[in-house]
A and B are shown apart, each in its own frame.
Chain A
Amino acid sequence: MITDIRWRVLVIVIIVGACLYAIIPPSQKIRLGLDLKGGVHLVLRVNTDDALRLETTTTSEQLRDQLDKAGIAVTGVSVLNPTQFQVAGVPPAQDSLFRQTAAGVEGTFNRESGVGGTYTFTLKPNLVVQLRREAVTQARQTIERRVNDLGVTEPLVAEQGSQGDQLLVQLPGVTDVPRAKEIIQSTAMLELKLVEQGPAPTREALLQASNGTVPPNLEVLPGVESRGAERPETVYYLVRKVPAITGRDLRNARPSRDVNNAPDVDFTLTNEGARKFGKATGENIGRYLAIVLDGQIRSAPRIDGRITDQGQITGGFSTQEATDLALVLRSGALPASLTYLEERTIGPTLGADSIRSGVMASLVGLTLVVGFMLFYYRLSGINAIVALSFNLIILLGAMSYIGATMTLPGVAGFILTMGMGVDSNVLIFERIKEELSAQRGVRASIQAGFSRVFLTLLDTHSTSLISAAFLFQFGTGPIRGFATTLVFGLISNLFTSTFVSKTIFELVLSRRQVAGLSI
């Protein structure tokens, strides 16, 4: 019996000790959530349609090239929507040749024939799902690289939402919100394209040479002349649709200065990129190369010689712009555009206020509960209070071990654990009282009190755990913090109110013979 108690005391001491170790000093060991620490909380939607449209457009362009090479004269190739494109006017005589040529894209698209030599190609449904998922994952990884590059400590980027297309971004301690948002959402789609015509002040002037139509393998892009001047003007260029190189060919990018000491971005290329770029520049010396960022021409310098593995992006940047552009280029392009759904900023003042009121409410709550238990249960109240303190220590310790964060609703959960945690002790004590008034001995009453109530406790804790689990499922951030606190509070409460409390009673009773119980 004695050794049994010694073992139990040892178990309790080890558990409580380990938890104490995990939370002292609290200011360093307890991770605070964004709502207490201050920072930015963003929810974005990844517009995955963009990724599908890119796949559809690229494939339709490839097919157009192949049809040209095979000498099949169709009237048009057009993208209908993000997942479909249409080839119109296939001459009946060339129909079988067309089908043969188009077989190449049928790995990814389903072909359907319509009337008058029209064919509709639809992206395969399993690919749609896969591309959407990839776009979200890629966007998350890209944003992760960017916020890490920004130097944010402990940022969080996570996928969420019922459609699986939302990203949660939490940046603790960040105060320059507009800049953070700019960096996160910048698509950073870099393309270097050969200029065929331009610049011209209007589209019409640009297209005069080609009788007002855009040749199929070219496109018109806007650019800004004399950027940063008092009255920047929009100009237009006719450029090749297929880029010489894109952001994917970049190995690295960093902010620098050009020959005029204006900020620019220096980049180096991968081996594959260097080979492509060397070929494109070597064949086109003397012509112009448009630097296109997110569909806008930043600048169009002349190609003075063959360039292989490095270059500069100029275009009237400020120092900050050049730094940020280098950052987003390093992290790679986003596969799709982003839409902001939710945006919260919590200033450090608000967070500090919340911590102060949380601590205050905890202390008042604790005092009230402790006072009541001592008043109502006398000496046994001390037992309940020891159990309660262990309960709170284990709760915080467990949260610290699994790296859970303490949020403001989490503080509420902590305070609730105080008020509701003593419930178990009350239940047991009331039962012991009943047994005592039925003229049973002290030992027998305590024994009966604990054993009879144990299953009841299991039931009450189970129902609370069920609702806490759904709460966790429902909430994000702060609410999850609350649910986590509740769950750990409940589990550690079951341990302290039965195991710890009972051990304390037995410890007291083993020392001497008692006639009555102060309860």
Chain B
Amino acid sequence: MQIFKNPNYNFVGYRWHALALSWAVILAGLLTVYFKGLPLGVEFSGGTIVVVQFDRVPGIDQVRSAVGGSFPGGGENVVVQRYGGAEQRQIMIRVPEVGKEQGTGLSQVADLVVRGLQGAKVGDFKVVGTEIVGPVVGRDLAQKGFWATVLALAGILIYIALRFQLSFAVGAIVATIHDLLVMMAFLAFFRYDLSLNVVAAILTITGYSVNDTVVIFDRVRENLRGMRRDNITHIINVAVNQTLGRTVITAGTALLSVVALFLFGGEVLEGFAFTMIVGIISGTYSTVFIAAAVVSFWRSKKPSRMTAATTPPQAAKAPQTARTRAKATRGTRVS
């Protein structure tokens, strides 16, 4: 069974359409972030979360007014929402404030929330979880998350530059950064909090998105040997088409598992699963349309290095004939 029978699409030919679509999504995302902000999880923004389980769930507004009185502005910044499935009868209350960091003070705000609920007679309940994060932690984490992403990208760039060559590495990294921006855009559209789990998803996609790209590049490298006379755009198109079945199927199985996670994995993992879904789709799209286009663009700008395909960058500088070059690198591949 085969999804595609001898596919022969001109993917690189669609690069301008793809570019326009990607920019539209990314710009819309940036505008959303600019005007509405990127919603931050409590790990990054600092604040207090209290999850309570009721015997009989009261109205959201009732809970809000019970809690709001204790906070400035009648609690306009207090978020009250249902948590988990209906049968779990849980409500999450999130307050941007935390208690003083000194001593036992951090839990003061959580205590205020609980006392507010007790005073308002909204029904019997018990606290099933609290999460209180001071401002220092958030700042540290944001920094660490940023550097982890940048360093992971740099590590992958170096790895691909060594195993393939620089133009391939640039293509892979551009595609991956594209995926990161698209994920951010969708988080902003659908108002999912940027939490620790979401950052984990983003870093996972950083590695995953490159996988697809590497598979295609591997094929390009292999084809370059047999099709040295052909135009680089053509060679890339052939490689994308040859691996198309695999690209679509693996994205499909990965999607199946993440969709299961999204639907059944529970409240905590929903943001993670959502980010993964966006990342996997965007990763597959960017591999086919962005990464390949970047490589073809980069290399057609530098015709002198066209034939240096299978040669590592450092060796490419040496004046060699195509024949000796092919010989020099034969050892890097088993065929």
Contacts and interface: CB of A to CB of B under 8 A. Distances in A.
Nearest to B163: A459
Contacts of A434: 242
B79 interface: no
Interface residues of A, number: 79
Interface string B223-267: 000000000000000000011011001101111111111011110
B129 interface: yes
Given A364-B260, A430-B249, A455-B333, A471 B266 contact: no
A162 B145 CA distance: 13
A423 B253 contact: yes
Nearest to B131: A344
B20 interface: no
B156 A467 contact: yes
B81 interface: no
A178 B104 contact: yes
A430 B246 contact: yes
Interface in A144-195: 161-162, 177-178, 181-182, 185
Nearest to B2: A433
A470 B214 contact: no
A463 B156 contact: yes
B65 interface: no
A180 to B, nearest CB: 11
B148 interface: yes
A416 B276 contact: yes
A492 interface: no
A349 B208 contact: no
B interface residue count range (under 10 / 10 to 19 / 20 to 34 / 35 or more): 35 or more
Given A354-B268, A361-B261, A466-B156, A344 B273 contact: no
Interface in A400-452: 408-409, 411-412, 415-416, 418-420, 422-423, 426-427, 430, 433-434, 451-452
Contacts of B249: 376, 426, 430
Nearest to A367: B260
Contacts of A468: 203-204, 207
B257 A416 contact: yes
Given A340-B104, A456-B214, A482 B128 contact: no
A320 interface: no
B144 A342 contact: no
B19 interface: no
B102 interface: yes
Contact of A474 (B106, B203, B210, B269): B203
Contacts of B256: 365, 368-369, 372, 419
For the residues of B in contact with A, the DSSP-based class is helix
Contacts of A94: none
Given A361-B265, A466-B159, A378 B214 contact: no
Contacts of A426: 246, 249-250, 253
Contact of B84 (A353, A364, A479): A353
Contact of B199 (A423, A462, A474): A474
Contact of B218 (A347, A353, A455, A464): A455
B140 interface: yes
Contacts of A422: 250, 253
Contacts of B127: 345, 347
B148 A474 contact: yes
A377 B102 CA distance: 61
A408 B269 contact: yes
For the residues of A in contact with B, the DSSP-based class is helix
A509 interface: no
Interface string B152-176: 1001100110010000000000000
B88 interface: yes
B107 interface: yes
A468 B155 CA distance: 11
A125 interface: no
A177 B114 CA distance: 15
A470 B266 contact: no
A178 B276 CA distance: 38
B1 A479 contact: no
A452 B242 CA distance: 14
Given A474-B145, A475-B196, A409 B250 contact: no
B253 A427 contact: no
A395 B249 CA distance: 23
Contact of B148 (A451, A456, A473): A473
A430 B196 CA distance: 36
Given A409-B272, A420-B250, A466-B156, A365 B260 contact: yes
A378 B1 CA distance: 9
Contacts of B257: 365, 368-369, 415-416, 418-420
Interface in A352-411: 353-354, 356-358, 360-362, 364-365, 368-369, 372-373, 376-378, 408-409, 411
Contacts of B200: 409, 471, 475, 479, 482-483
Interface centre among B2, B155, B246 (most CB of A within 10 A): B246
A196 B115 CA distance: 46
B136 interface: yes
B197 interface: yes
A363 to B, nearest CB: 8
A419 B252 CA distance: 8
A346 B264 contact: no
B163 A343 contact: no
A486 interface: yes
A350 B334 contact: no
B319 interface: no
A471 B148 contact: yes
A478 interface: yes
Contact of A340 (B134, B207, B259, B334): B134
Contacts of A473: 144, 148
A460 B261 contact: no
B72 interface: no
A454 interface: yes
A344 B197 contact: no
Given A341-B134, A452-B334, A459 B268 contact: no
Nearest to B197: A409
A75 interface: no
Given A426-B246, A426-B249, A467 B207 contact: yes
B326 interface: no
Contacts of A460: 210-211, 214-215
A376 B204 CA distance: 27
12 contacts: A185-B103, A342-B134, A356-B266, A368-B257, A409-B200, A411-B269, A415-B265, A420-B253, A422-B253, A464-B207, A467-B156, A470-B149
Given A361-B266, A420-B208, A466-B159, 11 more contacts: A177-B107, A185-B103, A345-B127, A357-B269, A408-B269, A416-B261, A419-B257, A426-B250, A433-B245, A465-B207, A468-B204
Interface of A: 35, 43, 45, 161-162, 177-178, 181-182, 185, 339-347, 349-350, 353-354, 356-358, 360-362, 364-365, 368-369, 372-373, 376-378, 408-409, 411-412, 415-416, 418-420, 422-423, 426-427, 430, 433-434, 451-452, 454-456, 459-460, 462-471, 473-475, 478-479, 482-483, 486
